Chains A and B, each alone.
Chain A
Amino acid sequence: MRAAPQYNFQQAKRTLTTTFNLERWNFYLKDYNDVVVTAFLQYGWPISHSADQLPRSTLQNHPSARQHPSLVCDYIAQELKYKAVIGSFQCNSFSTDCVISPLQSVAKRDSSVLHVVHNLNFRPGQSVNDGIVRDEYLSEPFHLCLPGIDRLVEFINCKGPGCLVFKKDLKCADNFISIPSCCLVYIQLL
């Protein structure tokens, strides 16, 4: 049984290295009902793993990754470049046990180009994701609601026929969400 963790945003409050202009976020969001978002951006988003036991490590990547070593090397090099991963380590550098989940390579739909994926669902029943409860975050209920096309249709109906539509994408969205150091033990890779 593990003690409930004290997260950086609750206690130590060490500001993470970030490209965010936190002053501007705080300025704009001072009246926002989910203002804790700014604290998570500043101190890291805990992964919200709540299982009593550490997930089980897998000390070998999936065959689909082992068959493409250069692809895996390129992936790790790119993640290092974006500062999305740290390392490499020759041994466990943490003060607690850590969890290694396997890499795999998969092709996106309608494409033969392979991408490397960190399989945090492996092994079923003992994986990192098995310890993250859906519809809650840090033990508080939180239902993630993703929109459908209906809202855009609503906008279009409001503006009328002939209006213009547009969209903007964020770059590397998975990399701009930093996690606190106490959670790093859960997402090790080989």
Chain B
Amino acid sequence: MLFGLHSATLACQRTTKAVSYILNEEGILVDIYIDDFYRAETQELADLSFDRMTQLFLELGLQSSPDKDTPPTHEMTCLGVCVNTLNMTLTVPDF
């Protein structure tokens, strides 16, 4: 389905929301913006959660895009906002 269709975003979000439901049921609280899954986790559990997401995508037959992944880190840009969990700040990157 072309993303230019008004109904495409709805179809994609409903599909990926179902995937986030599966993860949430397993105690891995994620949120999803169309095709972008994101989460925060303690240092002890972060790798485990990240790997479970990878494994679930494979299991469901979803193709991920590893080159666009952000593995567990203290700083990442998400939805256009730079998040830093060490100094607990949100900043808007320069354009």
Contacts and interface: CB of A to CB of B under 8 A. Distances in A.
Contacts of B73: 164-166
Interface residues of B, number: 66
A141 to B, nearest CB: 12
Given A137-B10, A142-B10, A173-B12, A153 B86 contact: no
Which of B25, B39, B75, B88 lies at the interface centre, i.e. has the most chain A CB atoms within 10 A of its CB?
Answer: B39
Contacts, number: 211
Contact of A174 (B8, B22, B90): B8
Nearest to B79: A149
A185 B82 CA distance: 42
Interface in A36-76: 37-38, 40-41, 45-48
A132 B8 CA distance: 11
Given A45-B11, A146-B13, A165 B29 contact: no
Contacts of A155: 29, 31, 39-40
A137 B7 contact: yes
Given A28-B60, A128-B5, A164-B74, 20 more contacts: A20-B62, A32-B18, A34-B14, A38-B18, A40-B14, A48-B7, A109-B95, A132-B6, A147-B33, A162-B86, A165-B41, A165-B72, A165-B75, A166-B41, A166-B70, A168-B53, A168-B54, A170-B16, A176-B63, A187-B5
Interface of B: 1-18, 21-22, 25, 29, 31-43, 46, 49-50, 53-54, 57, 59-65, 68-76, 78-79, 81, 83, 85-86, 88, 90, 95
Closest 4 CB pairs of A and B: A173-B35, A155-B40, A164-B72, A167-B38
25 contacts: A28-B25, A41-B15, A117-B4, A119-B4, A129-B5, A137-B10, A142-B10, A144-B13, A146-B13, A149-B79, A149-B83, A151-B31, A155-B40, A159-B40, A162-B85, A163-B42, A164-B42, A164-B46, A165-B70, A167-B37, A168-B53, A169-B37, A170-B16, A174-B1, A187-B5
